[in-house]
Every structure is written in C-alpha cells, then in structure tokens.
Amino acid sequence: MDATAVIIGASGGVGAALVRALEAERGARAVLALGRPALELTDEARIVAVAERLSGLRIDLVIDATGFLHDEAVMPERSWRELDPVHMAKAFALNAIGPALVMKHILPLLPRGERSVFATLSARVGSIGDNRLGGWHSYRASKAALNQLVRTCAIELALKRPQAICVALHPGTVATRLSAPFSKSGLDVRPPDEAAGDILRVLNALTPADTGGFFDHRGAPVPF
C-alpha cells in the first residue's frame, strides 16, 4: 500500500504550500488535504469522522498546520491589562485543545514497525525559556501548552510505535494572514512555499530519537 501524507489546515497559507510541495514530491494521490468544514478543531465529532476516514490508510506523515493568533476583533495582548477570557479561551481551544484532540485520534493510526512523523506547528514565542519580551500572553501560553501536549503524547506514542516521531515545529515568520499585521516589524518574513520546503527538510531529517522535541525551521532545537 502506498504511503499517504495528511495535511490538516490545508486552506491556510502554510498548509496549502505544504500540499503543493508534497504533491510535487510524491504525486497528488499520496496527499490528503484537510480543512474546514470537514475538520473543525473545536468539534471532536468531526475529528473522529476524519480519523475513521483515514483508518486503513498507510499514513507516514501528518502535519497539523493550524494556528490562531488574532482575529478581526482582537489583536495579541501587549500587557496584562488587555487579557480577555473569551480571547484566551479561543486561543487555547484552537492552539492546544484542538491539536490535542487531533493527536488523540490520529496518532493511533500511525503504522507500527516503520518510520512515521506527526508534526504540529508551534511557535518560538511559545517557548518559556526563550521569553524575554513578554506580551502576546494568550498565544504564548496556548503554544506552550501545545508543546507540553506534544511532549507528553510523544512519550506514550514511543511505547506503542517506537519508530514514530511526534514533534512541535516553529516554521518561522511566514507571509500569511496570521503574520500580516506584523510583517513590517523587522521580522524575517518568508514566502509560504519557502517555509513549506524548510518544514519538509527538517521533518525528513528527524529520527525516532528526536520524538517529543521542539525544532525551528532550520532543524535547531528550541528550548521549552
């Protein structure tokens, strides 16, 4: 059976670029692109339905390319004075709880006895050890929670599928709607297709010894 790559969040800038890169590399039949409304991170029943659809496939790569930083109503906090429980709940629902439910239902589908990779897009600002600027409270905290969930799920995964790899990945700042308001702040903003290529190169180089890790788009470890 041919291997299948699964991209979650395929309608986003990075997700769509990953689909393009994988289709060019593997052929379109080996890539399954998932996004709304088929998969909604806040609806576990839809995640279960997707998992049932994937059951029976030989999946060697899953990338969760979802994430939430801001919307039309709320921007990232600059101070604790701007903390809002509704915004915080949305950030945790989309950046931590949703990906955790994806891992709950997708990790058991990874093959036994052969290499496979599950990666979720985190962010360097989710690193507690690297936090020297403050601000962006909800995004930082929800991505830190995601990193812990990845580490915890990777430990369990290694007991059942020792050749599988489960990691968090910082893709860098990519020219998408998520980063658009901050693209003039001196950040190194890269096109989605370049970011997708970097992500795939990093994932291709990982070994089972790297499972549970947090890496940037160059393959360097990021402190938790």
- Topology (CATH) of 3-216: Rossmann fold (3.40.50)
Instruction: Report how far apart, in Å, the C-alpha atoms of 133 and of each of 95, 127, 128, 155 are.
Output: 21, 12, 11, 31
Measured distance CA(119)–CA(203) in Å, rounded:
8
Measured distance CA(102)–CA(59) in Å, rounded:
14
More confident residue, 144 or 182: 144
DSSP 58-91: EEEEEEE-------SS----SSGGG--HHHHHHH
pLDDT above 60 for 70? yes
The set of residues, in sequence order, having a beta carbon less than 8 Å from that of 81 and lying 6+ positions away, is: none
The 10s digit of each residue's pLDDT in 9-45 is 999 999 999 999 999 986 656 899 999 999 999 999 9
What's the pTM?
0.94
pLDDT above 80 for 79? yes
Is the Cβ–Cβ distance between 103 and 82 less than 8 Å?
no
For the chain, percent of residues with pLDDT exceeding 70? 94
pLDDT above 70 for 185? no
Measured distance CA(121)–CA(31) in Å, rounded:
18
Domain ranges of the chain: 3-216
Tokens describing residue 218: 């160059």
**What is the band of 121 on the pLDDT scale with cuts at 50, 70, 90?**
very high
Using DSSP's 3-state secondary structure scheme, residue 45 falls into helix
- Residue of 103, 64, 66, 70 lying closest to 88 (CA atoms): 70
What is residue 184's predicted lDDT score, i.e. its pLDDT? 60
Measured distance CA(3)–CA(176) in Å, rounded:
29
